[in-house]
Structure 1
Amino acid sequence: MDRARHAESPEPASSRARNDADRIASAVQAASAVRASAPGADQSLRGVGRDGGLMAAIQQSSVAPARVSPGYRPFGIFRLMLAILVMVQHFGVVASPYVGRVLAVPATGNIAVLTFFVLSGFIITESAERFYPGRPGAFVTNRAIRILPPYLCAVLLSIGAHFLLYRTGQLALWPPLADLPHNLFFTPGSLFSNVIYPLPVVSNIVGEPDYRFIPYAWAVRVELLFYCVIAAALAATPFFKSFAKILGGLSIVMLLIYFLWRMGLAPSMTRMVVYFGLGVSMYFAVKGSAKATIIALIFGGLALFDYYDYDAAQRTEFFTSNPSHHRLAIVEYMLLVSCMGAIPLLAKCRPGSRLQKIDAKLGGLSYSLYLNQYVAIVIVNSVFINKGYWTLFLAVILAFVLAYVMNVIVEKNTEPLRTAIRGFKLEAA
């Protein structure tokens, strides 16, 4: 009886207190771990330690951690700098003749676009591997939302500005395009082909527009083609078990495609596989892969050769017309190597939270600035006959204002959707 009564009696208060304390400590510790790994858990965990906080903590402790964002890579200011280098090459048309010649001589725009492709190879490969394993559809959707709405807004703005200037008799095009008949720009076929121009296959079926309202949009088309390749690699990963190995095999295919282009057997845009391949291999090299480092060196050597043989060769007459021009060729090569070499160095930097936010905000302007700089050139070139430093300054300011306004409008409406598809909000975004 005594043993029975002892078994039925409640445990001492001190023992219950210790057990309760242990359970609370375990729940709070588990909740803290979830908070560290799941960005969306912050709000629900703020009540831990207050009324109802223990239950929230226990509920959260059973939730599987969300995908973990990689450390922020400070590419934002670098991307903006590349967009400005494109402007440097093109904005000479709205300056005085002397300044225009000076700005047009170094091929800063060519170098910047090629570096953009390398950077895209790095960033998109990391994004696909970390955030979209087994989700090629989500990857394509997210990238389409990032690329196409800003392009659509920019091309519609450019069409509207061109039409208004045409109707008022003021339209003056960028000099290389000055002789094109203006009345053909606004036919339904021309407008439609401009709107769908970035879509690689569809636009090829419809045909090239006679006049592109964003002449630099060819780079957007190349970018989207690269996204299709990465999406195919994601779709094939379950069959080959390794996304990295698939891209390793694709690097060989990229080399073959490049040499087919050299022989005139592949479309001109396939030339860019060298630069994307360099970016892809850079990413895995930064992760510590010795094989990827070797592949990156091969692609890097080909990129330097390609620039010399294609971009620089187009200006052979300029480089040979004056001995001093040889020094400019060296400067261009130094700029190309510096821009591409900066990518793995920046990838390893880890700035503070305040600098991250600044970097992300400035980097967010780069794509909009790239798309909207041409309409700024056309407006200033059409409205002002006499050019000087002030018209150059005005065109630059206009380009930045358009980029900022469009970035705010488009990002405000698309970023929540992209965040939902990705699964969480990126750091410093």
Structure 2
Amino acid sequence: MLLIAQFLFLLLMLYIGSRKGGVGLGVISGIGLLIEVFIFRMTPTSPPVTVMLIILAVVTCASILEAAGGLKFMLQIAERVLRRNPKHITLLGPLVTYAMTFMLGTGHSVYSVMPIIGDIALKNKIRPERPMAAASVASQLAITASPLSAAVVYYLTQLGGIDSTITLASILGVSIPATLLGTIILSLYSMRRGVELEDDPEFQRRMADPITRKQIEETTATSLDEILPASARHSVYLFMAAIATIVLVAMMPELRTIAGKAIKMDAIIQMMMLAFGGLMLLLTNTPVKKVPEGVVFKSGLVAAIAIFGIAWMSDTYFQHAMPVFQSSIKDMVNQHPWTIAFAMFTVSVVINSQAATARMMLPVALGLGLSPQLLIAIMPSVYGYFFIPNYPSDIATCNFDSTGTTKIGKYYFNHSFMMPGLIGVISACCIGYVLASIII
């Protein structure tokens, strides 16, 4: 009974933190950690230093890319693709946000491209909810496919230490096609969701107001009217070179073996991101003071602080409760191993972070004796925070849709992101299960 009460306390701290969001989630988890240690007398575990350093290294390099104009350059390429194929915006929009997250390791780039997706849909009389909600979900689903994401690297360091045959290539060989196909499936579903734009009552209500009608008809969101310096293009080339170098080193262990000992991939990623960030800063002559002013830097720092508190508090509880968990639920998990995906999904709903969910639940799953093959297959289940529509990208997407079709419903859970999210995660896990049995 005491462990159950302590678990409910853990959920309460996560819930209170989630209501504050961002940094609040991390520091309120610190309160929970303090109570766990000094009142519940749990032995504190180590803070999630590795995950935090990966996030900080990737965010630093991506922030320099943003300051150099590289993100705008990528956005202009994406916009040209979308505007050349406006009728296919519901399929191409999610693929664009998926690709940007894949390259950057973070879904926060969605803020820049979402107004463009909405504008293209509106100008072509396509219900904006269709591409916008799907694009928001796709931007988060791609995190488990990015070689730069903290969730993927944490999986690699934990599972690679158990089974030396598990490499970055084997993990991405499952997660990339699984999440990409999941994105395509949720996009295909979105093509016919909801009534047509001209039949939507909320859109008609807004168009009845002359001021709102003028704003909707005359506002155009675009990035193509800005002339970028050559340094913007060069910064993107350098960032892509960093990704290619990381993948190359991961696939060729001899490159990272010194004195007979292999350097861990988490350290490789940290070194590469810092080094290429430095090269980018020097070769593009980007002012250092612009780096911390961008959206990527601020969002990444907030994510690191949130994970700091969440993962430390959660890990302390689960390490304390692990002996009881192993004896009480091991039989159930052994009979139905896939049920661990529900646990991961549920945790993600509460803590709004895939890296923190992986850091919290992967040791539990390994402690229960689950195979690395299964855990790679169900990796997309660490994305469940679309379920409660309070994640920043989902809220921003609703705000960017001037027609009101992308929304949080009257009953809170009947929102625009629910079905695309469920379809994307479930299909990605199912496809991943098949691929993992073949590849790993």
TM-score, structure 2 length as denominator? 0.35
- Considering only CA atoms, is the larger Rg found in Structure 1 or Structure 2? 1
TM-score by length of 1: 0.36
